[in-house]
Amino acid sequence: MSRVIGIDPGITATGYGLIEGTQVLDTGVIRPSARLSLPEKLYYIFLNLKEILDRWRPDAAVIEEVIYHRNVRSALSLGAARGAVLVALRMADVEIYEVSPTAVKLAVTGNGRASKEQVAFMIGNLLKFDVTGVSDHITDALACAMALNRGVVKA
């Protein structure tokens, strides 16, 4: 049974969910202060994720691919956050898989256009995890990890 971390990257909130089989080991959201500069936010994300990776030593990571954004600034910030995450994963020698949000939704709900509420509901059922009051960033990250377990993400 492999240990998988799913990551929902973002510059203001990077969610993560670590599973082993269908057991949730750890979840959280890395939230840099809004007062930090972009380089400081990226460094904060990197350091906090590195600490999590050092503690749990996952075998694989699944990270959402960049989706189309109308706002170029948001897309660039998301890309920068993904870069910080990818560097931390590579430094930890974790096998990295990238998956589209549509594939993640398909893996956990059977519908590639499922709502965030549907994804959270299915994560709760599949992982026997109470999603009441849990951030979308966490349920999205757990869904990424489940996409690998359910065979949607190919090795």
From the centroid of its chain, how far is CA 113? 18
Could you confirm whether 51 is annotated as catalytic?
no
Which is the catalytic residue, given 20, 95, 98, 136?
136
Is residue 117 part of the annotated active site? The answer reads no
Q: Quick check: is 95 catalytic?
A: no
The residue written with tokens 């109470």 in the block is 130
Q: Pick the catalytic residue: 64, 65, 95, 117?
A: 64
Active-site entry in 8, 59, 117, 140:
8
Alpha-carbon distance 104 to 108, whole Å? Answer: 7
User: Scanning the structure block, which residue is given the tokens 């599949």?
Assistant: 126
Start-end of H helices in the chain:
38-56, 72-91, 101-109, 116-127, 136-149
List the catalytic residues. Answer: 8, 64, 136
